[in-house]
Structure 1
Amino acid sequence: MKKVLLISFVILSAAAQMTYAQKQAVIKLTETMLMHEMRATPYPLDKAVVNDRAVSFQWPLRSDMNSQDSPLDGFEHKVKKVDKTKVTYRLRYSQDSGFKSGVTQVDTRWPFYNPEKPLAPGVWYWQFGYVEDGQVVWGSTQQVTVEDRPGKFCPPSLKALLAKLPAGHPRVWMMKDEWKDFMNRSKEKAERQWYLERADKVLQTPMKSVKDINTSQVKNLKNEMQINSYLTRESRRIIDAEEGNTEALIRAWLLTQDTKYADEGIKRVLIMAGWDKDKNVKGDFNASTLLSLCSMAYDSFYDRLDASQKKTLLDEIKVKGGEMYDNFNNRLENHIADNHVWQMTLRILTMAAFSVYGDLPEANTWVDYCYNVWLARFPGLNKDGGWHNGDSYFTVNTRTLIEVPYYYSKLSGYDFFSDPWYQGNIMYTIFQQPPFSKSGGNGSSHQNVGRPNSIRIGYLDALARLTGNTYAADFVRRTLKVEPEYMKKALLSKPGDLAWFRLQCDKPLPEGEGLTALPAGYVFPATGLASFQTNWDRVGGNAMWSFRSSPYGSTSHALANQNAFNTFYGGKPLFYSSGHHIEFTDVHSMLCHRATRAHNTILVNGMGQRIGTEGYGWIPRYYASEKIGYVLGDASNAYGKVISPLWLTRGEQSEVHYTPENGWDENHVKTFRRHIVNLGKTGLIFVYDELEADEPVNWNYLLHTTENPMTVNKADNRFVHVQATNRGGASDAYLFSSGTLQTDTTSSFFYPAVNWLRADDKGNFKKYPNHWHFTATSEKAQVYRFATIINTHALKYPAKDPEILSDGRIKVGGWLISVNLKSNGAPSFFIRSTKEKVNITYKGEATIVNEDGYETVMRDTLPELEI
């Protein structure tokens, strides 16, 4: 038997009531949110214990600077007019609680500070202060215990890093003194030929211009949000294509030193440098693209540029980089996860800053900021390795997650991939989307992720080589065995091309344990995700389910799907989240993709979960082994009116109305705890919902399919049988409840999916297909219970209905289930295997698993959260 996988985290909390609650078996949270769009607490929190990395001190911005987010593409940033160049903070830390001796005191321009040397083990005290008119307003004293541990992640200071930065050029995409050797080593690698093929084709291809941006649909759009989104998309169509072409020329020059590539590349960059001044060019990705090209050209072509060309590029880098830094400065470092910045633009400013360091005075500040904000906040933004924005948008971060730390590693000689986050992130990348399979179904645009794309495979390939992780290596080998040149598809992909990394890195894929050595399930409590499999070896026979209940709520690209699950067979979805991500705040996208009605969870009187960090869930308990798995999600705080200032503003900009008619109203939910028990490798799961409101309400149980219609059978009055199918598999859901259910199925969306944005290059707008939606509605009740048995299996082997025994127990597939479905009495269930020595008991206060004579008692535990 494989080892039981149990994941635990140090418990920390910002609120005294949370600390008190952790002593209870069942934690009842009263916080409006667990995570904040902008930092609300200092870090490390008071009484924290840090043993895995060097301490980075971080604290909230001044209240007059606390701008929540970058608005939608094309809208102006509505940041209060504070001269951020004059903002100063003071920090002091000591092992003396009275700050009388051994005090280190520093002034900083940003609300964070990374000590140049790691703090010695022991108890430390620290304070931050806001400096105004020469006076310091000190915050409260925080205590942190630093523990020693072998392998603790302690990267070097910026001063140590810069001491190793070469003075000459190129110094970013390669070091000048390694250039000849790099060219020789690259000749044996396929990626070299890929770049040269593309560059040779570019030499025969006329450039497009910003005058080629298609504006024909602007007249048909109805508000500023749509116009800006459309122009952003159409201008990116031109600029991204020309970026790829020009980058191919730059890479080809670095690979060959053939002047034909350099001369054409220089010409194109100088033409493109001013494109951001065109009125039809919108969005920060376009601005960062032009900064990237200017800085790449400056560094890579340095010895071929004349003085005038160098000045032109430096002037453009100064303006573009300055605007980007001004946007980040005293905002980004406090932000929960500013998507575009962490995805691409911070990486681009980082590389630009190092490319002109010493040649442009402003780069001193940019380098300082980029390096130290990385140490303070990245790569993961939380500790468990998960990615709260979901699988589709996760891969947009790929180059950032590899290229930035790889560059720092090359410069410093320190292994930035020894950050323990990366090992957790490998598990996220694997468990949320196994080989050749659909993604777990979380985050905007999740439906588009039908199998691990070439970017994802390239990412796992890089991490396998850099960290020695053999599970990632096996994932890559399995993929390339089927399609040997699969990673070529990512060539020159703006967010995800790692071909250049593979030309630089000569580490081989490691050998060792493969995917079949992984556990059945994995839980990411800080992110709020879980997934379980039955078969790592053959995707065609794998039954999988995923689950989300997240402290991040539904902000950013996350969805309002707390306590929602999805099921899969053979790598294809069955019961699965519905709706289409047309645009970030498009009305259909908000009401039928982000909103709770789109997911396999619960509505209350037809009302859903809040949009924003306020609509949160969390995972209090979990357990994973081969014989049994268990996840408890708590969405008791997720429901109610939308109150987030950020999302209210976005709603106004996009004409999205958070009304009862659209699914948001006063909150009546007191308790929504959903238990899912994974019954070994049978493809069976047991779902138990304990529900309580402050008055009698209708509870609406939701299921959705996206590939085929569902069938609903109510012939047995003891349960409702709902079946989802795909080409080779089925999920049969048997729904039991406290009372009689009224059921409804439809193939219509609440609000139609109209494609006004995503035309192909010929201007054709593809229609979005409808999905299928099942709702089971209870009579009005203040307390209610649902129990669902879901059997996910091969379609050719039909499922047998559960057997109801004379004593009320349910027998299914070698398991006996006792469950309290009555509205009175404590919520409870007991499940045991008739074939293995394993059982699970839930009686409210605790969940107890007995497996092979070992007992595990689970009570609620809060995950460690930072923002």
Structure 2
Amino acid sequence: MKKTFYLALLWSLFLLGANAQATIKLTETTLMHEMRATPYPLDKAVVADRAVSFQWPLRADMNVQESPLDGFEDKIKKIDKAQIAYMLRYSQDADFKKGTVQVQTRWPFFNPEKPLAAGVWYWQFGYLENGQVQWGSIQQLTVENNPDKFCPPSLKTVLGNVPKTHPRVWIMKDEWKEFIKRSHSIPERQWYLERAETTLTTPMKSVKDINTSQVKNLDNEMKRKSYLTRESRRIIDKEEANSEVLIRAYLLTQDKKYADEAIKRVLTMADWNKDKNVMGDFNDATLLSLCSMAYDSFHNLLTPQQKNILLDAIKEKGEKMYQHYNNHLENHIADNHVWQMTLRILTMAAFSVYGELPEADTWVDYCYNIWLARFPGLNKDGGWHNGDSYFTVNTRTLIEVPYYFGKLTGFDYFSDPWYEGNIMYTMFQQPPFSKSGGNGSSHQNVGRPNSIRIGYLDALARLTGNTYAADFVRRTLKVEPDYMKKALLAKPGDLAWFRLQCNKPLPEGEGLTALPPGYVFPETGLASFLTNWDRVGSNAMWSFRSSPYGSTSHALANQNAFNTFFGGKPLFYSSGHHIEFTDAHSMYCHRGTRGHNTILVNGMGQRIGTEGYGWIPRYYVSDKIGYVVGDASNAYGKVISPLWLKRGELSDVHYTPENGWDENKLKTFRRHIVNLGKTGYIFIYDELEATEPVNWNYLLHTTANPMTVNEEKAYVHIQATNRGGASDAYLFSTGALKTETTDQFFYPAVNWLRADDKGVFKPYANHWHFTATSEKAQVYRFATIINTHALKYPAKAPEILSDGRIKAGGWLIKVNISAEGVPMFFIRNTKKEDPVSISYKGGATLINENDYETTLTDVVPDLEI
């Protein structure tokens, strides 16, 4: 966010007075940007946890989106990136007259070779054109002294340790014999060898086997390209796995039969990208990976002609990827495929041919330095804004890249504090044997932590010493000892090879039961709370999202939405299906707001893109009480993102009032959620205000069983059930509500893309949807009490006391649901020996626990892009 925004914010707070200072009203169109809009670190920033990386926006004529959808060619003005140059200077002298470091760079970022000394620094970037520098504004930066600061070595140190021999990537030549010897005691060795033996007798597929039969039945170019991308990946991914397992079998045994077959297959595949039916950047990256790993692993077996064929293929594919990335990826909020897999592949390819292919000098420089600048976390809290399903696509990247850098340098790249936060994200968003938190595309497919996720926690436990992650893994493997074998050769997430390389044991120590009941990720905009880490069968859980990332990338337009769970299964839960990235059903019913447990305004939802953002202004976590506030006041309105408008145009998706987008009428939507200890009860309070009288639509959804709805005198009772649990929601409101339930989607879910190996398109199931609509009102308030519990113990309805208070589950609640007066609630437990309370009256939130009062006011999260 810009400095001017903060100045305006401070001035408005001064005018509003002391009570209003507790609440921050954001006015920015977006908190994040698809492409970087501000320098980093921001002016007046304080950096204490890591070495400084200077980053800045691209030139205006370059600051554009490329390839709005996979398979579409870039249709932008082509710029000769070799001619792009920047200047950067930094000094502890504000006038840059002494002690100034000035460098010319070819990318819009720079990592100083040595960490900046503690103190105040000044820095400035400039665009270099025709020998002249157009300097930007001067930024002030304070570097704090911290002995534990994350300061990885420079590229110079890395390159000084790259072996001149082969192999050097999946294994290094000087450790090869010891690696083979040690592998005999590790089960993963046998997994690879069994699969390799099968592959030796398996005929190879061809690009001629790509199924194109459905192309003629698809009604737009997006569908046709998506279908061909999927079907070509079906063939190429299968053959990648076959060739990869042969390469790994050779590295495990040095048996030439595996090498001979792998070389034959890889050379056959080297130019498959030239076939008209092969589409998508994942296919390009796959072929680069195979060529580079064959070149490295079989270097002493290849003929000069074979080496030249592979080098030519590596050069062609690697340079194409580098040219796409540089002066683009650095500034992109999260270029999905690149961070998921393709940057890892280019990194490993670059090191495999470093010193032998001139272009690799540039690739290595770029890949290493962009990792230091942008990764592993695209924010500081360790969360993953794209959601739980797509998080695991990044697994190999998050482990293999820094592990390889560590092997070259001896530096512990996993000491980056982001990894500790990410372990918490991985566990809290999906506890053992449980459904995911329900955020991001395809979240419904994540019914329990998959083998990739368990392998990831296993790796991080070994690398960081985190005993919570180790306990998570042990609990899983106690039930299913060979569970991680299911991930073998999984393209994005197989870490079997890492376990063969890393001989660190799982650490011992505190387990999951020592964790708090909740965790909040303010930069990502996520929270989750649960009642029982020890026994999933009796665990009640809820998750919540209100995110500065909005609904771009694989994120959904579900600001201020919650989900509930019991026994690891969903109850009130986000609906809709991720058929394809911009399929009409996926956009209207899965990404779109109507699919989530939040609120519509006049039936209209939240913007698609970073402009449809929410945020978490305040939160509190303890065993006795938890609290999260989400603010979605800026999320609603017409879709204005150029990128998403273009995607809609290409996909026949129309952002019209008929489909759920219109002029914004909303002023305020704040959702307070209070976690009432470990009782399974939560209290939700919605503050709503519009610019004119509107209908407020309160949404709930289920995906397992139909809901039951009963309209009582004081509230509407909605119950969701699964096989062993229930969530009973008691909805109180300012006025009378009109309720409606249906088992039909707004737009049908038609499977036109995901056929199985036999060409069968499995149908998508319908879900159940509840809407409570208010009369037109400018100010409105909802209060909801939700009791999530075992189904065999029926819920007791809230008791309305004579003074208007509500008694529920050992808690007394006083709440203002009238449109008059300030928004207010006061909640306390009924335990005289152990009192705890929370109160809110439109300003600060006060929490009294253990005779200590905590005052919560709004804090804007620290965001990078």
TM-score, with length taken from structure 2: 0.98
More moved, 762-771 vs 10-19: 10-19
Q: What is the DSSP-based 3-state SS (H/G/I as helix, E as strand, rest coil) of the residue aligned with 1:30?
A: coil
Is the Cα contact below 8 Å between 2:599 and 2:696 reproduced in 1? yes
> Aligned-pair distance for 1:18?
4.3
Residue matched to 2:693: 696
CA distance in 2: counterparts of 1:214 and 1:322, whole angstroms: 29
> Aligned-pair distance for 1:78?
2.7
CA distance in 2: counterparts of 1:650 and 1:15, whole angstroms: 33
CA distance in 2: counterparts of 1:18 and 1:407, whole angstroms: 45
Residue matched to 1:16: 7
Give the counterpart letter for 1:34 in structure 2: L
Residue matched to 2:713: 717
Is the Cα contact below 8 Å between 2:715 and 2:730 reproduced in 1? yes
Give the counterpart letter for 1:753 in structure 2: A
Alpha-carbon displacement from aligned partner over 1:5-31 (angstroms, at most 9, x marks no partner): xxxxx9999643345567731111110
> Aligned-pair distance for 1:717?
1.2
Is the Cα contact below 8 Å between 2:167 and 2:173 reproduced in 1? yes
Residue from 601, 618, 623 that aligns with 1:621: 618
Is the Cα contact below 8 Å between 1:39 and 1:334 reproduced in 2? yes
> Aligned-pair distance for 1:67?
1.6
Residue from 132, 143, 147 that aligns with 1:146: 143
The 5 Å alignment of 1:521-540 reads: 521-540=518-537
The 5 Å alignment of 1:648-667 reads: 648-667=645-664
CA distance in 2: counterparts of 1:768 and 1:125, whole angstroms: 57
Is the aligned partner of 1:587 residue 2:584? Answer: yes
CA distance in 1: counterparts of 2:68 and 2:179, whole angstroms: 42
Q: What is the DSSP-based 3-state SS (H/G/I as helix, E as strand, rest coil) of the residue aligned with 2:573?
A: coil
5+ residue gaps, structure 2: 15-20
Q: 1:85 to 1:21 in 2, by over 3 A?
A: farther
Is the Cα contact below 8 Å between 1:803 and 1:811 reproduced in 2? yes
CA distance in 1: counterparts of 2:171 and 2:13, whole angstroms: 51
Give the counterpart letter for 2:69 in structure 1: L
Is the aligned partner of 1:329 residue 2:320? Answer: no
Q: What is the DSSP-based 3-state SS (H/G/I as helix, E as strand, rest coil) of the residue aligned with 1:303?
A: coil
Is the aligned partner of 1:675 residue 2:672? Answer: yes
> Aligned-pair distance for 1:150?
2.1
Report percent identity of matched pairs: 80
Give the counterpart letter for 1:801 in structure 2: A
The 5 Å alignment of 1:199-238 reads: 199-238=196-235
CA distance in 2: counterparts of 1:306 and 1:67, whole angstroms: 44
Is the Cα contact below 8 Å between 2:467 and 2:510 reproduced in 1? yes
CA distance in 2: counterparts of 1:272 and 1:62, whole angstroms: 39
Higher normalized contact order (CA 8 Å, seq sep 6+, divided by chain length): 1
Residue matched to 1:805: 801
CA distance in 2: counterparts of 1:373 and 1:771, whole angstroms: 43
> Aligned-pair distance for 1:80?
2.3
Cα RMSD, aligned residues only? 1.1
Residue from 541, 546, 555 that aligns with 1:544: 541
The 5 Å alignment of 1:284-683 reads: 284-683=281-680
Residue from 258, 266, 270 that aligns with 2:263: 266
Is the Cα contact below 8 Å between 1:67 and 1:80 reproduced in 2? no
Is the aligned partner of 1:843 residue 2:834? Answer: no
CA distance in 2: counterparts of 1:213 and 1:381, whole angstroms: 36
> Aligned-pair distance for 1:148?
1.1
Give the counterpart letter for 2:825 in structure 1: F
Alpha-carbon displacement from aligned partner over 1:351-407 (angstroms, at most 9, x marks no partner): 000000000000000000000000000001100000000000000000000000000
Q: 1:688 to 1:279 in 2, by over 3 A?
A: same
Is the Cα contact below 8 Å between 1:12 and 1:863 reproduced in 2? no
Residue from 714, 739, 742 that aligns with 1:743: 739
Alpha-carbon displacement from aligned partner over 1:615-666 (angstroms, at most 9, x marks no partner): 0000000000000000000000000000000000000000000000000000
Q: What is the DSSP-based 3-state SS (H/G/I as helix, E as strand, rest coil) of the residue aligned with 1:342?
A: helix
Residue matched to 1:99: 96
CA distance in 2: counterparts of 1:305 and 1:56, whole angstroms: 41
Give the counterpart letter for 1:821 in structure 2: I
Residue matched to 1:854: 852
Q: 1:22 to 1:245 in 2, by over 3 A?
A: farther
Is the Cα contact below 8 Å between 1:11 and 1:863 reproduced in 2? no
CA distance in 1: counterparts of 2:165 and 2:319, whole angstroms: 23
More moved, 70-79 vs 118-127: 70-79
Is the aligned partner of 1:770 residue 2:766? Answer: yes
Q: 1:550 to 1:20 in 2, by over 3 A?
A: farther
Residue from 110, 131, 136 that aligns with 1:134: 131
Q: 1:794 to 1:851 in 2, by over 3 A?
A: same
Residue from 808, 813, 832 that aligns with 1:817: 813
> Aligned-pair distance for 1:197?
0.5
Give the counterpart letter for 1:353 in structure 2: A
Is the Cα contact below 8 Å between 1:563 and 1:674 reproduced in 2? yes
CA distance in 2: counterparts of 1:433 and 1:30, whole angstroms: 34
Q: What is the DSSP-based 3-state SS (H/G/I as helix, E as strand, rest coil) of the residue aligned with 1:63?
A: coil
Alpha-carbon displacement from aligned partner over 1:768-799 (angstroms, at most 9, x marks no partner): 00000000000000000000000000000000
CA distance in 2: counterparts of 1:730 and 1:12, whole angstroms: 48
Residue matched to 1:81: 78
Q: What is the DSSP-based 3-state SS (H/G/I as helix, E as strand, rest coil) of the residue aligned with 2:122?
A: strand
Is the Cα contact below 8 Å between 2:166 and 2:173 reproduced in 1? yes
CA distance in 2: counterparts of 1:248 and 1:291, whole angstroms: 16
5+ residue gaps, structure 1: 1-9
CA distance in 2: counterparts of 1:103 and 1:285, whole angstroms: 43
Is the Cα contact below 8 Å between 2:189 and 2:252 reproduced in 1? yes
CA distance in 2: counterparts of 1:593 and 1:633, whole angstroms: 21
CA distance in 1: counterparts of 2:772 and 2:195, whole angstroms: 55
> Aligned-pair distance for 1:73?
1.4
Give the counterpart letter for 1:851 in structure 2: E
CA distance in 2: counterparts of 1:22 and 1:486, whole angstroms: 54
> Aligned-pair distance for 1:81?
1.5
Residue matched to 1:242: 239
CA distance in 2: counterparts of 1:310 and 1:401, whole angstroms: 30
Is the aligned partner of 1:754 residue 2:716? Answer: no
CA distance in 1: counterparts of 2:492 and 2:715, whole angstroms: 48
